[in-house]
């Protein structure tokens, strides 16, 4: 009984101390302006008030490396860690690779016998990286995503998101009965929409080995099964890219965004293709700004038909009262 009472007393004292420390952390404020928005610097050496800029705490601990580097190549040579993990590789980049250079640690060329031995080691190392058919399929799918993303010119963040979406579909067994290329293309299309870097289905299908109808069907299936929250694409996201391809000025781009805003408020955007809507707004803006482009030129860039541009154009100029 005495021992259990002491244990309860220690637990109570420890709880009180933790509560006091939490209250002190919550009450910590700037002595100058009494603001509680305190920000630590990137290296963790200083605690600065975000409102008045007062340095509250200043440490002298340097958390960086002990060596100096003046360019990227020198920094890479002195670094003692590898590359960060990535979802774009089937093993997340954690396996080792044998360098293709036939040189030793001192940069000297190796003998022909060693060269043939290293060639065999490289071949076996590539074979054992994938231990079963599932990993080989994943490796093929991620390489397809990387190839299509490079062709579309999207940043690396989109490739990472697309790889995560494909892995989730693989874990939920959504690929059974569907082609690997189709699911990979649908994952890339979904990642573009999530990262606000829209690419139309026509653009994605041009770099894919799958038909557009199958891409759309697979995209709707995986987005529903995985619960991906996809907002409607804003036509203004396409305007800068289309204007750049057509070599139009900033004035045309601003006018096209204005046309889209005014007409969308009147409900004309509902049920319309965002690429066709943006193309029609650019065509109307080019006429208003005396930088005329033909409907054929705009249609080729936006990958829509001239009929679509004419129909959207008539609706927009009537809504604008032009």
Q: Which residues of 38-55 are buried (b: 16+ CB within 10 A; e: fewer)?
A: beeeeeeeebbbeeeeee
Tens of pLDDT along 284-313?
A: 999 888 888 888 999 998 888 999 899 998
State the average pLDDT over residues 67-87: 79
Report whether pLDDT(187) > 90.
yes
Please report how the helices 306-320 and 250-265 are oriented relative to each other, as an axis angle in degrees rounded to 10: 70
Q: What is the pLDDT of residue 23?
A: 43
Tens of pLDDT along 5-56?
A: 555 555 554 555 454 444 444 457 888 888 888 888 766 678 888 888 888 8
Which range in 40-44, 104-108, 138-142 is most confidently predicted, on average pLDDT?
Answer: 138-142
Residues that constitute the known binding site: 30, 33, 49, 52
Task: Say if 133-226 and 235-320 have the same CATH topology.
Answer: yes
Q: Does domain 235-320 have CATH number 3.20.20.10?
A: no
Handedness of CA 279, 283, 289, 292 (dihedral sign): positive
Residues that constitute the known binding site for Zn(2+): 30, 33, 49, 52
Cα 206 from Cα 162, distance rounded (Å): 18
280 within 8 A of 237, measured Cβ to Cβ: no
Average pLDDT score, the chain = 83
Report whether pLDDT(246) > 80.
yes
Report whether pLDDT(126) > 80.
no
Q: Three-state SS for 17?
A: helix
Tens of pLDDT along 250-270?
A: 999 899 999 998 888 888 888
Supply the pTM of this predicted model.
0.66
Q: Does domain 133-226 have CATH number 1.10.472.10?
A: yes
Tens of pLDDT along 146-161?
A: 999 999 989 899 999 9
Residues 6+ apart with CB under 8 A from 249: 289, 291
Cα 82 from Cα 224, distance rounded (Å): 37
Domain parsing of the chain, residue ranges? 133-226, 235-320
């Amino acid at each position: 009984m005495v021992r259990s009472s002491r244990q309860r007393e220690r637990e109570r004292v420890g709880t009180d101390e933790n509560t006091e420390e939490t209250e002190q952390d919550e009450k910590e404020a700037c002595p100058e302006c009494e603001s509680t928005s305190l920000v630590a610097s990137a290296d963790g050496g200083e605690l600065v008030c975000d409102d008045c800029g007062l340095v509250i705490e200043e440490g002298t601990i340097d958390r960086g490396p002990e060596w100096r580097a003046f360019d990227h190549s020198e920094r890479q040579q002195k670094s003692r860690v590898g590359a960060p993990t990535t979802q774009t590789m089937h093993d997340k980049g954690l396996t080792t690779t044998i360098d293709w250079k036939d040189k030793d640690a001192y940069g000297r060329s190796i003998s022909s016998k060693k060269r043939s031995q290293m060639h065999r080691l490289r071949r076996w190392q590539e074979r054992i990286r994938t231990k079963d058919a599932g990993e080989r399929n994943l490796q093929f799918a991620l390489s397809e995503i990387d190839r299509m993303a490079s062709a579309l010119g999207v940043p690396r963040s989109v490739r990472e998101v697309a790889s995560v979406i494909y892995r989730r579909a693989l874990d939920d067994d959504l690929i059974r009965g569907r082609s690997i290329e189709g699911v990979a293309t649908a994952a890339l299309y979904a990642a573009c929409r999530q990262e606000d870097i829209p690419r139309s289905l026509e653009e994605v299908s041009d770099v894919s080995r799958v038909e557009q109808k199958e891409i759309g069907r697979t995209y709707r299936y995986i987005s529903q099964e995985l619960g991906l929250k996809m907002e409607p694409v804003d036509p203004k996201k396409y305007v800068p890219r289309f204007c750049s391809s057509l070599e139009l000025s900033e004035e045309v781009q601003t006018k096209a965004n204005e046309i889209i805003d005014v007409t969308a408020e009147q409900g004309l955007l509902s049920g319309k293709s965002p690429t066709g809507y943006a193309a029609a707004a650019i065509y109307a803006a080019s006429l208003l700004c005396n930088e005329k482009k033909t409907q054929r030129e705009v249609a080729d860039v936006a990958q829509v038909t001239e009929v679509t541009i004419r129909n959207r154009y008539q609706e927009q100029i009537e809504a604008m009262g032009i």
